Chain A
Amino acid sequence: MNGAIERYLADLDRRLAVPARYRRRVLAEAGDHLADSAAALESGGRSGDEADAEAVRRFDPGRRLAGDINAGWASAQARRAPAWAFVAGVGVLAAAVAAIPAVPSDAAAGGAPVVAAAALMASVGLQLAVVAGAVALLRVAGRRSAPVLGSADRSLVWRAARIGVGATAVAALGLLGVAAEQAHRSGSGPGRVVAAGLGMLAVLAAAGGRLRRPLPTGDAGGLDVGDPDVEVGEPGGIEDSGPAVRLSRRSPGAGERLARAGESLVTIVRSWPGAATALVAGLSAWGAYAHAEASRPGSLLTAAVETAAVVVFARVFGPALELLPGAAPPDGSS
């Protein structure tokens, strides 16, 4: 290979934003392709240098390959993000179930403030984790048949998954607080609580590590299909020519249609943010009050704290999860 192909591959290597193994594969395939193409051109009568330059021109005339590869990889990673948030949630709950029932059931009698506060932290954290996880899952499921997730969808899925894991970590602290307090009261020792804590930490670290990867920068490439809901002919459509049938997008299945129906509900929430927040806060308060009154004092305080938590979370996380109008925080992607 002469300079033209080597320069192209060096530029491609610099612009790829994918893991090392996948990068090596892309560069190898590109190099092999260019070698074949140059050989064919040379056998057709061109000089070596001309053949190499022409091979590069035919291979990637718009220098879009790096962007397309990056977009495809980012899309695949974003589609896995809800799964990691789910793993974190299940892992934390499993560790909590393993730790807390080891304590005698009457250890919570008396409604110690520390236990109540820890339980509230766990409850609020889990609720936020479920909402964030549902947002991420609905977006991924609702775009299942699209070849590539658009950049706006990827951003939302990453944000929601990170919020979900963060909220799960808060819930984990609450659950460990409940377990520790009850273990202390019953005198059963810290062994199970420590083990549960280590298990939660491992699961959260694994999920957090997977979701820590920054979003790729740079353009999405020529084949980013953008928003798959934008049909040909609509203003801002990414395809302004070609047939209306988008064969690369498979027909949406039942799960995808259900997810889109769920997102339609979110659209309704966004149209009535105040009413939606008040409704959720009211339901949450009623649930907390009904549960608290059954076994613990301070039921009104618990309900008030739940209500305040819902309102605060709606204001803080609502725009980031695109549940409420407002600007989502910058996430480092361009």
Chain B
Amino acid sequence: MRGMRPEQLKGHLDPLLLAVLEAGPAHGYGLIESLRDRSGGVFDLGESTVYPALHRLERSGLVKSESVTVSGRPRRVYRLTRSGNRALAEQRGDWRSFCRAVGAVLGPLAASGVVPA
């Protein structure tokens, strides 16, 4: 499957990062790997794009970072805060509403041939 273009991810990276961090603290490289793996390779963007997003999320109080030792080296690791959990829940709701609306117009995935009936 062709990876999604980086421009298509603009505006959607924040909730994706929050969702990955929901599983547990991670550093930037680990986040990129998780994003790629969980999306089946669809989200294959320039790896550095996570850092401005993570810093922005930290300024907003949605994530918090700290320096920890990973494999003998100091690394900056990010974790979700309570505010981040609430923001993620809200954005999940927005996304579900959006998907329902699009699905109502396009029709079910089986009928449209996206997945086998």
- For the complex, what is the distance from the CA of A22 to the CA of B110, rounded to whole Å? 49
A239 at the interface (CB under 8 A from B): yes
A223 at the interface (CB under 8 A from B): yes
CB distance from A139 to the nearest CB of B (A): 18
Are A69 and B51 within 8 A (Cβ)?
yes
- For the complex, what is the distance from the CA of A21 to the CA of B56, rounded to whole Å? 16
Are A33 and B47 within 8 A (Cβ)?
yes
Are A247 and B29 within 8 A (Cβ)?
no
A161 at the interface (CB under 8 A from B): no
A113 at the interface (CB under 8 A from B): no
Are B11 and A248 within 8 A (Cβ)?
yes
Are A221 and B28 within 8 A (Cβ)?
no
Beta-carbon contacts of B2-18 to A below 8 Å, as 1s and 0s?
00011111111111000
Chain A: residues with Cβ within 8 Å of the partner, total of 40
If the complex has contacts A37-B47, A59-B48, A65-B52, are A241 and B8 also in contact, measured as CB distance less than 8 A? yes
- For the complex, what is the distance from the CA of A28 to the CA of B65, rounded to whole Å? 14
Are A61 and B46 within 8 A (Cβ)?
yes
- Say which size band chain B's interface belongs to: 20 to 34
Describe B's contact surface by its main secondary structure. helix
Are B47 and A29 within 8 A (Cβ)?
no
Are B14 and A247 within 8 A (Cβ)?
yes
Are A28 and B76 within 8 A (Cβ)?
yes
Are B15 and A248 within 8 A (Cβ)?
yes
Nearest B-chain residue to A238, judged by Cβ: B10
When distances are taken between beta carbons in the complex, the residues of chain A under 8 Å from B59 are: 72, 76
Nearest A-chain residue to B93, judged by Cβ: A251
If the complex has contacts A28-B76, A60-B48, are A251 and B14 also in contact, measured as CB distance less than 8 A? no
Task: Report B's interface with A, CB cutoff 8 A.
Answer: 5-15, 27-29, 46-49, 51-53, 55-56, 59, 73, 75-76, 87, 90-91, 94-95, 98, 102
Task: Report A's interface with B, CB cutoff 8 A.
Answer: 25-26, 28-30, 32-33, 36-37, 58-62, 64-65, 68-69, 71-72, 76, 147-148, 221-223, 225, 238-243, 245-251
Q: Rank and list the top 4 A-B pairs by shortest CB-CB distance, nearest first.
A: A248-B14, A68-B52, A246-B11, A65-B48
